[in-house]
Amino acid sequence: MSLAVASGGPARRPRYRLRRSLTRAASVTLGVALVIWTVMPVYNMVLIALDSDADEYSGNIWPPDPSFESFRVIWTEGYWYLENFWHQFGNSIFIGLMTMVLTVFIGSLASFALGRMRLRRRWLLSNAALLTYVLPASFLAIPFVHIAHRYGLSDSLWAVIAAEVMFATPYAILIFQQYGRLIPFELDDAARVDGASPVQVYLHIYLPLMAPALVAVGTYALLLAWNEYLYQFLLLSSTKSMTVAVALDQFFDSDEAPWNYMMSTAIVYSLPPIAIYYALRRYMMTGLTMGGVRA
């Protein structure tokens, strides 16, 4: 740009400056529009949560009398929809952690066998993984629920964990295989010459060097399980086995539930994933780009 100014000479300078300030004005306008666009629904959530009475049609655009009463009600489980809130919060955490552990475990073993040991006909499994990855979740939901009943997993957290693991593993395998390319095969070879078994190569070479990918995929699986709604809604029915996502839907279905409690529940439920996203922003971005955009 500065080069263009120099060659254009002084006569062209005012036009150039005009163009630059126009560009600048346009990008500021776009920026402001993006802020409003992004923040408006979130602001509405906070607005309702801080409202002290439960009337949703107050028509306020500013909380007239902000109070944290509804958050206190959640903390003390002081409303009948929220009676088991912390138990349900625990269920969500349990499902998330189990999904994370199982996905990383199953995915890393499979990607080691496929990517490092290179079995013949491995494309069959890679394709199966890819096909699961593109399968729309809601299309599989109806037969999945029937099968979960058949396995004796009605109203069981394990049915949900199985569903989440099945959706997270293909992504895990794809990412692990891509990332594994960065680890020199000579390392495996040297270990084998020294008499290491595949298990030892997996434990002492593969896993430690794959740490960044394990973290990225583990986080992905955790958040997937925490945020997923449809399978939890269809598979969990009793209040004791519900997750926060399903509890939120109960509020939604009811006609006279206090909306401020619902929105504060929604906020409490959103805080862990938001914290993780922002804390691990760089890792999440690596997870995105690792697939090969960076080639």
Partner 1 sequence: MSSTQQVLAVGRPVAVNHPWRPVWPGGLHGSEYSWAIAFLIPYVAVFLAFVAYPVAYGLWMGSKPELYADLAADPLYLRTVVNTLLYVGIGVNVKMFLAFLLSGFFMSRSRWIKALLILYMLPWALPAIPAFLAVHWMLVGQWGFLNSLLSALFGIDGPIWFNSYWLALGANIVADIWKWMPFWTLIFLAGRTAIPQDIYDAADVDGATGVRRFAHVTFPLLANLYLVCTLLATLWMFGDFTTVYFVSGGAPARSTEVLATLGIHEAFDFAAPQLGVATVMSALPLLIPLVIVLMRKVHTMEVQL
CB of 151 to partner 1, least distance (A): 8
CB of 202 to partner 1, least distance (A): 7
Residue among 230, 239, 250, 257 that touches partner 1 (CB under 8 A): 230
By CB under 8 A, residue 123 contacts partner 1: yes
Per CB under 8 A, contacts with partner 1 among 167-186 are 167, 169, 171, 173-175, 177-178, 181, 185
By CB under 8 A, residue 294 contacts partner 1: yes
Residue found under tokens 């944290």: 68
Sign (positive or negative) of CA dihedral 96, 97, 102, 107: positive
Per CB under 8 A, contacts with partner 1 among 135-174 are 135-147, 151, 162-163, 165-167, 169, 171, 173-174
CB of 218 to partner 1, least distance (A): 12
By CB under 8 A, residue 50 contacts partner 1: no
By CB under 8 A, residue 93 contacts partner 1: no
Q: CA angle 112-115-118, nearest 5°?
A: 100
Which of 11, 121 has the CB closer to partner 1?
Answer: 121
**Coil, helix or strand for 62?**
coil
By CB under 8 A, residue 293 contacts partner 1: yes
Q: How far is it, in rounded angstroms, from Cα 63 to Cα 58?
A: 10
Map residues 190-209 to x or -, x wherever contact with partner 1 holds by CB under 8 A.
--x----xxx--x-------
Per CB under 8 A, contacts with partner 1 among 20-39 are 27, 30-31, 34-35, 37-39
Q: CA angle 248-251-256, nearest 5°?
A: 165
Show the 3-state SS of 109-125.
HHHHHHHHCCCCCHHHH
**10 Å Cβ neighbour count for 201?**
20
By CB under 8 A, residue 53 contacts partner 1: no
Q: How far is it, in rounded angstroms, from Cα 262 to Cα 251?
A: 6
Dihedral, 90, 91, 95, 101 alpha carbons, nearest 10: 40
